[in-house]
Amino acid sequence: MSEFAELIRTLPDEALAALLKLRPDLLTPVPADTVTLAARAQSTVSVARALDGLDQFTLEILDGLRLGVDLSQVPHAGAAVDRLRARFLAYGDPDNLTLAPAIDEVTSPYPAGLGRPAAQLGAEIAELMGDPAKLRRAVMSASPQARAVLDRLAEGPPVGTMAALSEPVTWLVEHHLLAEVSEGAVELPRELGLLLRRDAGPLGTLHPEPLATAAAPVEQSVLDSAGAAQAMSAVRDTESLLEALATDPAPVLRGGGLGVLPLRRLAKTAAIPENDAALLLEVAHAAGLIGELETSTESTFTPAGGYDRWREAPIAQRWARLANAWLAMARQPSLAGGRDERDRPVTVLSAQLEWAGAPSIRRCVLSTLAARPGLAPPADDLIALVRWRSPRKMRGREGAYREAIREAAVLGLTGAGGITTFGKALLLALDGQVDDDPLGLRPGGELPPERTPAVVALDALLPAPVDHVLVQADLTVVVPGPAEPSLVTELELLAEHESGGAASVYRVTPVSVRRALDAGFPAHDLHALFKRRSRTPVPQALTFLIDDVARTHGGLRAGSAGAYVRGEDESLITTVLADRSLADLQLRRLAPTVLITPFTSGRLLASLREAGYAPVPEDANGATVLSRPRVRRAPSRPAVAPQRDHPITTARLRGVVEEMRRGDARMRVARQAPAEVRAAAGHPMSSLTAVQAHTQALSILQQAVRDKVKVWVGYVDAHGASASRLVRPVSIGAGYLRAEDDRTQMLHTFALHRITAAALSEQPD
């Protein structure tokens, strides 16, 4: 057993549980024993994950350990070393720590920004670096330009290009102060880097704490108010986009995705920027609100079946569905509008936007803000803070982090630059932490599934939905706040939407009144509806408009016969027949009150309405057909579910540790097994030898059952691992051996075909 494995094995149970909690990747799958745990903890993948969770200062101290620097005089170094030891990235004697071997494989070859030792860069350089006096004279003889090159490389990184063989660099290479490591690339030897850093110290400038932000603390109520307003806007803008998409479905491109021109048209209709429209369309698609509708001729993007139910839900619940989808979707909307490596346009809702790392970046940004409540740093300061907390995760991805900050603000998870109470509640739920009442709104009890802590928190900040309107003399209808779903449904049938915002504005027109009459509302119901909903007196102009449209509504009736139109008023029929704007219908009189056309009833109805008439359709029996307009919806599709972290409880850790201890005990017992059992369990055999060993093992097992004695059994488990166990056989039959383990007092069942060897135990019963 290796030194590291022995160190892990001798840990107290509490320390072993602490290691598993700090490095949760070691739990999947549960290690069979401490030897397996030790091997996994030293693997390259696990070490890289452990390093990804360390802050900048701890990684700087790790570089100091890699270099063998004396850290006793470095402030706060002890705490950083303790973090490394707790994760067993460093272990052993505190004065002579050993680092996990995989660290060198997954970290920079230039610790603390210093180059490799001179011995690895050439004999002439090593000779110069080994003579301190000669080295100082060489450095002092360098020109100011050459010294500037040395100082820049000493700050790190220690490699650079020769810049077309510039004179200072050429001089440094010729005097062995720089090593030419490849064509056009040079490296500063570690010894010279340490010499040039004599004032700053061997590790250079350290960062025990993140840079302080210039932002002043902000009241949480201010952040929440700003975030709640933006959350309302995000829900409203998403609804506007989907309504525009329902009116004018966008075709699916041959390679997948939504074209640039349809995106611009949707953004213009919804009156929002194109990048916000791309984000909200992606989020709505991830939330299951957009789907593809297939027809015989084309495939189009339209609202999905679940959109109508989402639209009727309260604003806070609608926002939570969008926010959860954003946190979960493995896509990067900011790439839309660019071009891929093949110079093809990258479009919204296409497979080109998929990126598995997007969810972790979003959660990292929000968790960084959540760790500093009441702080609203500028974007640059927040990026610096995230970089200090997770420098390895940030490397090369700053643009993605900046975009995550912008998207969180658009969706209202942050307000005025700081995380909102409801945004934090959403994050806590994903992290497996419980905060059932973030605002202290209730004394206790369970929340229903649709009333999550985030929904409760946002709902408390939003204005109450209104169930009334203010009807103006110019026939505009003002909704003084967020309208309840039933009011929205009525207004969209009765009036034309003109503008949104804190107070939505609609306008009643002859077309909208006729639409309501077509849907089956009699005129007296429309009068009653406005009287019930309006907090202002209903203007006479609106009453007259409804009566005028209702008076002519149904005066003409159209049906299919090619198609026909009939009415009780013979003079009206004569007027229609003489109307030149209807000449294309080729109308003919069949009777004083009946006209016929060779075209369909649908075209007949549309043409009559365009000409200013108000016909209604009827069925074959002459009954009026009144119905709401048919809404086209794509098949329903589920929303993307966020990956929730299950909390690592003390009980779970205790159970894992107990299981590993039992595995250690099994290993100790297995080492006591006879040599022939261990050999058969651990080494492959020829088919003939295996059959002979299996036959002999069955004979021994049958004897052990008869004599009721203990026996050593070698077997291969379901995962292909070989093991040995001392058991007392109880029975053999139906292809299985049933035996009792004396150590655990448990009954085990072994498949006979997996048993490789057996030997009677020499231990007394």
| 752: CATH | 2.30.30.100
Query: Do 228 and 316 belong together in one domain?
Result: yes
Q: For residue 629, what pLDDT is reported? A: 61
Contact call for residues 35 and 42 (beta carbons, < 8 A): no
Q: For residue 725, what pLDDT is reported? A: 80
What percent of the chain lies above the pLDDT cut of 70?
Answer: 91
Query: Is residue 445's pLDDT more than 50?
Result: no
| Structure-block tokens of residue 696 | 């002999």
Per-residue pLDDT tens digits for 637-646: 778 776 666 6
Per-residue pLDDT tens digits for 123-157: 999 999 999 899 999 999 999 999 999 999 998 88
CA dihedral 604, 605, 607, 610 (to 10 degrees): 170
Confidence of residue 676 (pLDDT cuts 50, 70, 90): low
460, 486, 501: which is the final residue of a domain? 460
Q: For residue 656, what pLDDT is reported? A: 92
Which of 396-400, 584-588, 759-763 has the least mean pLDDT? 759-763
Q: For residue 503, what pLDDT is reported? A: 76
- On whether residue 6 sits in a domain, the answer given is no
Angle, vertex CA 402, rays to CA 401 and CA 407, nearest 5: 95
- Determine the average pLDDT of the residues in 193-197: 91
- On whether residue 527 sits in a domain, the answer given is yes
Domain around 590: 557-617
- Determine the average pLDDT of the residues in 389-409: 93
Q: For residue 321, what pLDDT is reported? A: 94
- Determine the average pLDDT of the residues in 583-610: 88
- On whether residue 609 sits in a domain, the answer given is yes
Contact call for residues 228 and 386 (beta carbons, < 8 A): no
Confidence of residue 759 (pLDDT cuts 50, 70, 90): confident
Which of 64-78, 248-262, 436-450 has the least mean pLDDT? 436-450
Query: Do 273 and 356 belong together in one domain?
Result: yes
SS (H, E, C) 235-253: HHHHHHHHHHHHHCCEEEC
- Determine the average pLDDT of the residues in 737-763: 81
| Structure-block tokens of residue 168 | 């200072």
Per-residue pLDDT tens digits for 487-524: 888 888 889 888 776 678 899 999 999 988 888 888 99
- On whether residue 100 sits in a domain, the answer given is no
- On whether residue 664 sits in a domain, the answer given is no
Burial of 289 by CB count in 10 Å (0-12 exposed, 13-18 middle, 19+ buried)? buried
Contact call for residues 49 and 60 (beta carbons, < 8 A): no
Residue 225: phi and psi, rounded to 5, are -65, -45
Q: For residue 443, what pLDDT is reported? A: 39
Q: For residue 624, what pLDDT is reported? A: 76
- Determine the average pLDDT of the residues in 616-631: 74
Query: Is residue 683's pLDDT more than 60?
Result: no
Higher-pLDDT residue of 678, 212: 212
Query: Do 306 and 426 belong together in one domain?
Result: yes
Q: For residue 181, what pLDDT is reported? A: 86
409, 431, 460: which is the final residue of a domain? 460
- On whether residue 98 sits in a domain, the answer given is no
Per-residue pLDDT tens digits for 523-579: 999 999 999 999 999 999 999 999 999 888 887 777 666 888 998 888 999 999 999
Q: For residue 223, what pLDDT is reported? A: 94
Confidence of residue 681 (pLDDT cuts 50, 70, 90): low
DSSP code of residue 200: T
Confidence of residue 435 (pLDDT cuts 50, 70, 90): very low
Query: Do 494 and 449 belong together in one domain?
Result: no
Burial of 106 by CB count in 10 Å (0-12 exposed, 13-18 middle, 19+ buried)? middle
Higher-pLDDT residue of 621, 60: 60
Q: For residue 537, what pLDDT is reported? A: 92
Query: Do 395 and 254 belong together in one domain?
Result: yes
Q: For residue 518, what pLDDT is reported? A: 87
Query: Do 178 and 267 belong together in one domain?
Result: no
Query: Is residue 167's pLDDT more than 70?
Result: yes
Query: Do 487 and 568 belong together in one domain?
Result: no
Query: Do 237 and 375 belong together in one domain?
Result: yes
- Determine the average pLDDT of the residues in 289-314: 89
- On whether residue 511 sits in a domain, the answer given is yes
Q: For residue 434, what pLDDT is reported? A: 47
- On whether residue 3 sits in a domain, the answer given is no
- Determine the average pLDDT of the residues in 319-342: 91
Rounded Cα distance between 605 and 613, Å, is 9
- Determine the average pLDDT of the residues in 665-694: 64
598, 617, 636: which is the final residue of a domain? 617
Domain count, the chain: 5
Higher-pLDDT residue of 140, 620: 140
Q: Which residue has the tokens 């803008």?
A: 237
Query: Is residue 350's pLDDT more than 90?
Result: yes
Query: Do 383 and 282 belong together in one domain?
Result: yes
Provide the strand spans (E) within 395-447: 414-415, 418-419
Query: Do 538 and 587 belong together in one domain?
Result: no
Higher-pLDDT residue of 231, 447: 231
Residue type, 398: E
Query: Is residue 686's pLDDT more than 60?
Result: no
Q: For residue 627, what pLDDT is reported? A: 67
Query: Do 451 and 387 belong together in one domain?
Result: yes
Rounded Cα distance between 37 and 54, Å, is 21
Q: For residue 685, what pLDDT is reported? A: 45
Q: For residue 559, what pLDDT is reported? A: 66
Contact call for residues 461 and 228 (beta carbons, < 8 A): yes
Q: For residue 555, what pLDDT is reported? A: 79
